[in-house]
Chains A and B, each alone.
Chain A
Amino acid sequence: MAMIPKVAWRNIWRQRVRSSIVILSIALGIWAGIFLVSFSYGMNDQRTQSALMTSITHLQIHDPGFEKDNHPSFYIKDTGGIRSVLDTSTLVQNYTTRILLNGMVSSPVSASGVRIMGIDPRMEAATTIIEEDLRTGDWFTSEKKNRILIGRKLAEKLHLDVKSKLVLTFQDDQNNIVAGAFRVEGIFKTSNSRYDESTVYVRKQDLESILGWPQGRIHEFAIVLKDREQADPMKQVLKEEFPKMTIRTWKEISPELGYADEVMAQMLVLFIGIIMLALSFGIINNMLMAVLERKKELGTLMAVGMNRRKVFKMIVLETIFLGLAGAPIGMLLGSLTVRITSRTGIDIGFLGQGLESLGISTVVYPEIPSYFYWLIGSMVVLMTLLASIYPARKALKLNPIEAIRSI
């Protein structure tokens, strides 16, 4: 019985060119699958990450009243307690505190409604990536009071530039309308132009003095975790410590980002499906060629008494051997590609202007969960096996006499 595997094994090495073509196409298929998954995975992850890191972050804490009404009087009472928990938690990478106000910004030309973010420039820069989105001007380097950062879209709308003056008007916690004159220190552009149009950044202490607030009164904790998938467990921890606060994860704040992931995943399945189909037809073709060109040889084997079942078995076994030889090569190539490109990144900027002008980085860093290697590897080997059945069945139908006579 061990004879058939032996014959199959020898057959593979008897025809080096033919075998290496099949082995290579299997390896390439696995490589392509691994590469595509890691590429899309990486691109998606970056997209989500950059969307979150602009300002949403992974977890936010507010007073429950603020969540409903956005009224400035709903500031967080127990900031000290929350700080001490965040400072000692191992899940937290960084966090920032903000005063949030809804107001109006007026220039000599026009006026526009905005959300005013009162921030601590040092904490904000350490937590989010908004400082990197600054296109002109500086990040609160001037010691002077009342400096403001605005988005490019807002700057265009109100005809403002660095050093222009503008007036911020908003409601304080006693419902009085208060105002302050600010000078533009910098202009940012994020991937979200809506955000650029409707958000301005000022220093927290400037707002404190306009509002007449004591130092350290805030509306929001924005927390970045080491791993964003830990948002739910971290929320539970905070919820137990501070049951009265409203704590929301990024998935609750911005559900569309989670859905975007899911939509991408479904499209990916379709595209990888198409590629796998293309690959399996390639393999079927190659196998068909490989088997049918051996007409004479198979005919001779049958003529000297090898029965059809054994011929079938031999061909399927050959394919399994080819698959088993190709799979490790493909997996190795794939993991090498991922390992190298995840460090160097792949610049797809040449493919379209869109990415750059959207403010999304054009460099993609592929990454892949390790179980995908096995998933894709076994999928391709399975497909190869299926691909061998048709040519093997074809071989069964050979008429030995005719087959021997053919050239």
Chain B
Amino acid sequence: MKMILILAWRNLWRNKRRSLITISSVFFAVFFAVLMRAFQLGSYQNMVDNIVGSYTGYVQIHHKGFWEEQTLENSMEYTDDLKNEVLSIDGVTGISPRLESFALISSGEQTKGTAIIGIDPEKELERMDLKGRLTSGVIFSKDDPGLMIGEGLAEYFKVEVGDSLVLLGQGYHGISANGLYPIAGILKFANPELNKSIVFMPLSEAQYLYGAMGRLTSLTLQIDENTDFRDVVRKANAELDTSRYEVMGWEELLPELKQTIEADSAGGQIYLFVLYFIISFGLFGTVLMMTAERRHEFGILVAIGMKRRILAAITMVEALMMTILGALAGGLAILPIQIYFKMNPIHLLGEAGKALEEYGFEPIMPTSTDPTITLSHLGIVAFVALLCSLYAVVSIYKLNPMKAMRS
């Protein structure tokens, strides 16, 4: 065995150039497969960050059954215990409490039904970029009875900052929830749906309006950038009383986004198939040529009495060594590129880029630096490389030493 290893190692360096070409085939295979997948997964991550990060949040906690039936009867009490328990979970950097319920809004002749969302402005300031979205007026303070509405909604009612809107709704335990509120600020949301429907109110005021003092419909968690939201969901489920609360990650909250990504990913996998097809062929070509070039050498070895089994073992070990060297080098070389494009993503050009921006998406294609991408593709490429080198083994067994030596 040791002999085989030594021979294989020496063979490798006896013809450096040839080995380097094979190693570089493996190198480029890993390099391009990871590059492609990193771009694909990176764009999905960007999509999720844009949609989830700005409003829904990666993880939400509700009263059990709220998501199924979103009424105030399924709201929960906002206790210090709950707050402390949630904040003590690893990876949770902050929480934003919200109370959300349906109401009719009217001004003059016009009426429209929409959701009224009670928020704590200080907690949402950064997440929703309230300052950046403000087109006129001010951001209401915590206990200032005012509204912040979407620009589209303001246009619909033809109202400005300082005008008032009438709210008509049903509160907790069926009490009537009516009020007249001045508009404190107007916000511009890139997403046209949000822009046409959003109405914010200070949390305490919303609780008062709906007769739901101290209650919330959802608690949205801010999560540390490097923490997987699934871990947070798991830990929260372990910490909290799951007969009272439900913990949901964005994949559950926005199943359609997940499906869209999956659908797109299916197309992306076809690209990967094709890429692998080309990579495999490139590798196979190299092995094929290498074997052809070494026929003479193999012929002599077999003629002087080397067992074909051992010769085959040596070539396999050579292939294994070259694969490992190439794959490792490829995995290392792609890393700085992954990091570079994550920091400096490719910008989409033209009208499309601008349109995406208007819809609230950053028009960029960053890469993902998830190490599992590299690991899984290392595995696949190594497998393909070893499969290709089986050709050498087969041809050794089929070799006719006399003919081979004459070639």
Contact = CB atoms under 8 A, between A and B. Distances in A.
Interface of A: 17-18, 21-22, 24-25, 28-29, 32, 35-36, 39-40, 43, 104, 113, 193-194, 255-256, 259, 262-263, 266-267, 270-271, 274-275, 277-279, 281-283, 285-286, 288-290, 292-293, 348, 351-355, 357-358, 360, 362, 407
Contacts of B289: 17-18, 21, 286, 289-290, 293
Contacts of B355: 255-256, 259
In the complex, which of the residues B266, B296, B352, B356 has the most CB atoms of chain A within 10 Å of its own CB atom?
B266
A354 B35 CA distance: 24
B252 interface: no
A32 B277 contact: yes
B263 A278 contact: no
B134 interface: no
Given A266-B352, A271-B271, 13 more contacts: A18-B289, A28-B278, A263-B356, A274-B39, A278-B32, A278-B279, A278-B282, A282-B278, A282-B285, A285-B282, A292-B18, A354-B261, A358-B259
Interface in B231-281: 256, 258-267, 269-271, 274-275, 277-279, 281
A259 B356 contact: yes
B350 interface: yes
Contact of B285 (A25, A113, A266, A275): A25
Given A271-B36, A354-B262, A355-B263, A278 B28 contact: yes
A282 B259 contact: no
Contacts, number: 152
B271 A275 contact: yes
Contacts of A259: 351-352, 355-356
A270 B365 contact: yes
A289 B18 contact: yes
A11 to B, nearest CB: 15
A286 B265 contact: no
A314 B264 CA distance: 47
A85 B33 CA distance: 55
B406 interface: no
Contact of B113 (A17, A36, A113, A255): A113
Contacts of B256: 193, 358
B346 interface: yes
Nearest to B43: A267
A139 to B, nearest CB: 25
A17 to B, nearest CB: 6
A113 B196 CA distance: 14
B275 A292 contact: no
A358 B286 contact: no
Interface residues of B, number: 53
B403 interface: no
B365 A24 contact: no
Nearest to B35: A274
Nearest to B349: A266
B288 interface: yes
Given A21-B285, A351-B266, A274 B113 contact: no
A362 B262 CA distance: 12
Nearest to B354: A259
A142 B222 CA distance: 53
A40 B282 contact: no
Q: Is the interface of B mostly helix, strand, loop or mixed?
A: helix
Contacts of B292: 17-18
28 contacts: A17-B288, A18-B289, A21-B285, A24-B281, A25-B278, A25-B281, A25-B285, A39-B267, A39-B270, A104-B113, A256-B359, A266-B349, A270-B39, A275-B36, A277-B32, A278-B28, A278-B275, A282-B28, A282-B282, A283-B282, A285-B28, A286-B286, A289-B286, A293-B18, A293-B289, A351-B269, A353-B259, A354-B265
A263 B348 CA distance: 7
Nearest to B296: A407
B154 to A, nearest CB: 17
Given A259-B351, A288-B21, A289-B18, A28 B277 contact: yes
Nearest to A35: B274
The 8 closest A-B pairs by CB, nearest first: A354-B262, A282-B282, A262-B352, A351-B266, A354-B263, A278-B32, A259-B355, A352-B266
Contacts of B85: none
B25 interface: yes
Nearest to B193: A194
Nearest to A292: B17
Nearest to B192: A256
B290 interface: yes
A285 B25 contact: yes
Nearest to A259: B355
A255 B354 CA distance: 12
Contacts of A348: 266-267, 269-270
A12 B301 CA distance: 29
B28 A274 contact: no
A17 B350 CA distance: 47
A360 B263 contact: yes
A50 B22 CA distance: 47
Contacts of B36: 271, 274-275
B267 A40 contact: yes
A353 B266 CA distance: 9
B293 interface: yes
A275 B273 CA distance: 11
Given A270-B346, A274-B35, A354-B258, A285 B278 contact: no
Interface in B50-72: none
Contacts of A289: 18, 21, 285-286, 289-290, 293
A107 B342 CA distance: 50
Nearest to B262: A354
B24 interface: yes
A32 B32 CA distance: 15
B352 A43 contact: no
A48 B399 CA distance: 57
Interface in B282-310: 282, 285-286, 288-290, 292-293, 296
